[in-house]
Structure 1
């Protein structure tokens, strides 16, 4: 029986970056990319309520960056009603604090938010470049991301990202978990991978060497293969 998976995109760039990976999984999963809710307020419970209504039960949940954090929180909420969890370049916290230093410095994030508030177009271009940093063709990948960007890129979405903390959810969810990170990620440090492994020893955590934050686009088939191997072992 073909499994079903719902993928959630990250902030700002829409669903397009996930399409190649979804297509690579086509023979093994029924994949649907679910758009993020329109962020009017940084209200995580309201956001999860919307996703919980839209997404059927019993499916795998996955997502990139912000989408992976939301998938994690929803998986913990659903428990046994979630078949498995896949996160792509998703930290447990996007902004560092004393208890979780393996994340973006708060000052860096604040500067980015302020820049976006002043000039969203220029800042989104910079964001695409950051997502591509570390890729074999960073400029080409950045242009590709921007050309297809149709995402939810509001300030409220950034404010939500700033507040999210999935540490408890990662520990609470007892189903299969695969967390993929990029060795050259400009926004999620590689050290987050080991920290998440320590937080949830039952999870599978992998680091893709020589890959950017947008690795699921530049290495779609490799990511799909990692998920299929993991599913074969764990289910």
Structure 2
């Protein structure tokens, strides 16, 4: 048995929750005895898992699980020209568990140079929102939302509260009526959404939020919604460790 085979077995156990987030795995010696291999092979298996961001090895604390059970970065039910069909789910646990979502940052900033690639002019006023999604207390997704301030400040007709996209950290989430897309509720005139999925090293913000080293490989899902004139309405950047899944339902 080689290191990749052992790593694959442990990865499956992490994905199904047999090794919960934060738990300690067997020592290298114990792992070698369990699989009947050399300690070098056992150590290599842990190196493979560490490279995927699934574990962290420390001389004093040993090898600790840094990932939760598998979850979906679910893009919803795709009905052209948008991803916001009734019944769409932004994400969901793959194998059950207590799912939670927390807003950790809401701020108004000046658009940076790298936002030009999303169609957001550098120097314009935008709002950034960050959410962390968890299953059984283990962080599984980091989601950044960026949109022009003028659109973020909109309120639905007949709504008297804080603009939903400006609700501060700690406030209860404001959701549209059942069967209504947030974009339609806020009058954003979304004509289409482009989604680009790549595997890339995590940036520092996502890595810190998910409890893994910066640069850990991950899914990076960038969704850019535009109006009928091609202007960017909202951008979402979802980061998920590679042992999770990215799914989509085609309904029309």
What is the TM-score when the length of structure 2 is the normalising length?
0.27
Structure 1 or 2: more helix by fraction: 1
Which protein is richer in strand relative to its size? 2
Q: Normalization by structure 1: what TM-score?
A: 0.29
Higher-Rg member (1/2)? 2
- Bigger relative contact order (CA 8 A; separation at least 6): 1
